[in-house]
Chains A and B, each alone.
Chain A
Amino acid sequence: MRVLKAFLLCVVCQSAFAEKDQVTARQWLDHMNRAMKTLNYRGTVIFMKNGQLDTMKYQHSVENGVEQERLASLNSPMREVTRKSNEVTCTFKETSQKVVNHHPLDSSFIVNLPQNTANLEKNYQLVLSGQESIAMLPTQIVSVEPTDALRYPRKIWVDTQHFLPLKVEVYNLDGSILEQVVFTDLMTDSLAEPHTGNVDDNSFHVKHIHTAQAEPFENATFVLKNWPAGFEPVFFIRNSIQQSQKAVDHLLISDGFSTVSVYLEAKESQGMNGLHSLGSVNSFSKVIGDTQFTVLGEVPAKTVELIADGIALR
């Protein structure tokens, strides 16, 4: 009887491992997407962006179906960033300022992922490329290789137990690392841990930005003739830019991993023309008549130039 039990256990384990072995790269991403939205987890995460290293405490929780993320910096400038669905609040402790950003897209601080991976493989090659341990947890590496040179390649290390992303690397087209996000420890919680903010609201100067509601895409006064395959419009909004309080039309397009914004505003005395770069973010500005356009996103420089070239007024 014991031998039979042991045999059955072996069969169950083997089939479980076999099932995990047969999971495709796309399924790993789907599992990860679900895990990121439904699990309660926390840990320490390191962001390496633009030559800057930031270590933050991270916490993700789901309460009544509403996702919450919380990041607290461990080093100066001391700040705490919370995301409740699509509302992001950044509290700068040193300057007693609080900025509440009402962003229409509720994207994760850790990694952007497409909601629907069905069409992803038209523009990206998804490959399982080995296993490694991150934060002492076994992970499956999923390589996301674009099929054109208009977006960045990336790799995601997915925790094999809970399907959470433990490490993300974004590469330049020459293969050098542009950005890295790595967990140094991660633990899951069965229940959402209550948010214990130690910030007294009254002592902070609160500023709300980008409070406008998204509008239909047809309301945009411009059209994009060129954009890379796989990109889709996500939202169109008329907002005011923080510094000048000028009205700016903002169209955001995304292929799931990368997002690109197109901004339209009235040209100022000196129009902006040319390319700006900061790490993985590139922007290209041009003037058409009295209108200033800027295309900005985490895509290579030639992508923002391509999109900017195809802008036309309706």
Chain B
Amino acid sequence: MQEQLNEKLSQLIDDELDSQQALSLLKTLQNDGLLKDKLRRYQIASQVMRSGEYSHVTSDFVDKIHEQIRQEPTYFLPRKKSAVNWQKAALAIAASVALAVVWVSTKVDKQMHNPFGAVEMVAQGKEASAEEMHARFKDYLEAHDNAMYVNSVQAGQPYARVVGYRQE
């Protein structure tokens, strides 16, 4: 039984469970603190194996998101006829949150290491020469106008950090 659960946890992280199985497992997770901890350990192991990096997500991360959702303002919009199945809705939210945790944990740490990741993505495929191009852009700007010295970004930081590049 325990082995099966472990297997399912692993499959959940690898996104190999179908929606029914995933929902059933998440329901079990909600009532089992030990299993939750195990899921977290599996996530960390999976992340380290994939990226060689580790980002710590606190255990109350999900609760904080729940709290934030609870504090969202209520909008009094016209109610639709069909009654909402609150149990299903709560389960769906829990599933979304758990998936978000998995997704965020793989992204957050990378972004902390490289806050300008988005800029580099634009220049993907030409990464080696993109740095040169940014440096050259700075040189050209310096030769073009005095206004460059006014701007602290331009005057004080390498251009690789601030310039967007679009290849034709």
Contacts and interface: CB of A to CB of B under 8 A. Distances in A.
Interface of A: 47, 49-50, 52, 54, 56, 71, 73, 75-77, 79, 81, 83, 88, 90, 92, 101, 103, 107, 109, 209-210, 239, 241-243, 248, 250, 252, 259, 261, 263, 268, 270, 272-278, 281, 283, 285, 294, 296-298
Nearest to B147: A109
Contact of B152 (A75, A275, A278): A75
A276 B143 contact: no
Interface in B129-168: 129, 132-133, 135-137, 139-147, 149-156, 162-168
A90 B154 CA distance: 12
A50 B146 contact: no
A77 B150 contact: no
Contacts of A263: 140, 143
A165 B10 CA distance: 66
Contact of A103 (B146, B150, B151, B164): B146
Given A77-B152, A77-B155, A250 B143 contact: yes
Q: In terms of DSSP, what is the predominant structure of the interface of chain B? A: helix
Contacts of A90: 149, 155
Interface in B59-111: none
8 contacts: A47-B151, A81-B149, A109-B147, A242-B139, A243-B139, A270-B129, A275-B165, A296-B141
Nearest to B137: A276
Given A92-B156, A241-B139, A275-B166, A52 B144 contact: no
Contacts of A277: 163-164, 166
A50 B153 CA distance: 8
B140 A79 contact: no
Contacts of A107: 145-147
Contact of A283 (B137, B154, B155): B137
A75 B153 CA distance: 12
B117 to A, nearest CB: 18
B144 A259 contact: yes
Interface of B: 126, 128-129, 132-133, 135-137, 139-147, 149-156, 162-168
B143 A261 contact: yes
Contact of A52 (B151, B163, B167): B151
A228 B142 CA distance: 23
A243 B136 CA distance: 8
A52 B152 contact: yes
B155 A261 contact: no
A285 B140 CA distance: 12
Given A77-B152, A107-B147, A276-B163, 10 more contacts: A49-B150, A103-B145, A107-B146, A210-B143, A270-B129, A272-B136, A278-B137, A283-B137, A283-B140, A296-B141
Contacts of B126: 270
B146 A109 contact: yes
Nearest to A305: B168
A81 B165 contact: no
B87 to A, nearest CB: 46
Contacts of B166: 274-277
Given A77-B156, A272-B133, A274-B168, A56 B162 contact: no
B146 A54 contact: no
Given A274-B166, A275-B168, A276-B165, A81 B150 contact: yes
A274 B133 CA distance: 11
Contact of B146 (A52, A83, A239): A83
Given A49-B151, A79-B149, A248 B129 contact: no
Given A77-B156, A272-B136, A273-B167, A297 B150 contact: no
Identify the 10 closest CB pairs spanning chains A and B, nearest first: A77-B156, A274-B168, A261-B144, A90-B149, A81-B149, A270-B129, A241-B139, A274-B167, A52-B153, A88-B146
Contacts of A54: 150-152
Contacts of B164: 276-278
B144 A294 contact: no
A54 B152 CA distance: 7
Nearest to A271: B129
B150 A109 contact: yes
Nearest to B146: A88
Contact of A278 (B135, B162, B168): B162
